[in-house]
Amino acid sequence: MEKNVLKAVKRDVKTNLNSLRQKGLVPAVLYGHGFTPITVAVEEKPFGKLLQASGANALITLEIEGKPESALIKSIQRDIIKRNAIHIDFQRVIMSEKIEISVPIHVVGEAPGVKVSGGTLEHLTRSLKVRCLPSNIPQMVEVNVSTLEIGQSILVKDLKPIEGVEILTDVGLIVVNVVVPKVEEEVAPAAAAVPGAAEPEVIAKGKKEEEGAEGEAAKPAAGADAKKPAAGAAAPAGGAKPADAKKSEAKK
């Protein structure tokens, strides 16, 4: 692995962090292996270039006031909007001791099952957990998919071995595979309501039949005397007809 040197200066924990950032410095801390943590600051631009060139798994030599310290980037805190580094955690490593670390998987090539047959490439395992000496940490693990047809896959056990690196990830896991693309079933749109359609006609018909039934019920029954007074109506006194009753009143 390429040696990356990054200069750092010690800082007081009471130092205003915003003032450091305004000067182009990133607050950081170095810890690990039972040593007392050291609060430091590194220049933002050199750190950004190192990260871009060597990746997040870069083995770094921190020069703290002339004293070299071997370290790895443990975590980076970034500004929510600008995305620049605002704090870094460095983990001290001993060059003679193996460490466990996750290494990203990078897919290269174009699968015939995708380009020719129209399949879909699925990238299922995106990093590998490995054990190795700090000097043997790979920046990434490349997976070539240029021979994959539909239905074929590459497992962890199919990856090329890396000298001095032990893979700890389950060897049976699928890294990438090519599958038949999923076909989405088209759902037919619901029929638009049309005037005179079956359902509205049934409703209208039922309404008319109901109105007709009510009309028939209102008519008197066949053969019934329409002039007969309704039940409970008062009959003229003495059984006289209405005309006779008027004449009797006139004589009085």
| Average pLDDT score, the chain | 81
Buried/exposed code over 94-109 (b: 16+ C-beta within 10 A; e: otherwise): eeeebeebebebebee
What pLDDT shows up at residue 18? 86
Q: Which residues pair with 63 in a beta bridge?
A: 7, 68
Q: Strand pairing of 141-144 and 25-32?
A: unpaired
Q: Which residues pair with 77 in a beta bridge?
A: 87
pLDDT at 218 over 60: no
pLDDT tens profile 69-118: 999 999 999 999 999 999 999 999 999 999 999 999 999 999 999 999 99
Give the pLDDT mean for 137-152.
94
CB 64 within 8 A of CB 38: yes
Candidates 68, 58, 75, 40; CA nearest to 3 is 58
What pLDDT shows up at residue 19? 87
Q: Which domains does the chain have, with CATH numbers?
A: 4-93 (2.40.240.10), 100-179 (2.170.120.20)
Distance from C-alpha of 9 to C-alpha of 38, rounded to nearest angstrom: 10
pLDDT classification of 181: cutoffs 50, 70, 90? confident
What pLDDT shows up at residue 17? 87
Q: What is the pTM of this model?
A: 0.65
DSSP string, 92-124: E--TTS-EEEEEEEEEES--HHHHTT--EEEE-
Distance from C-alpha of 60 to C-alpha of 89, rounded to nearest angstrom: 12
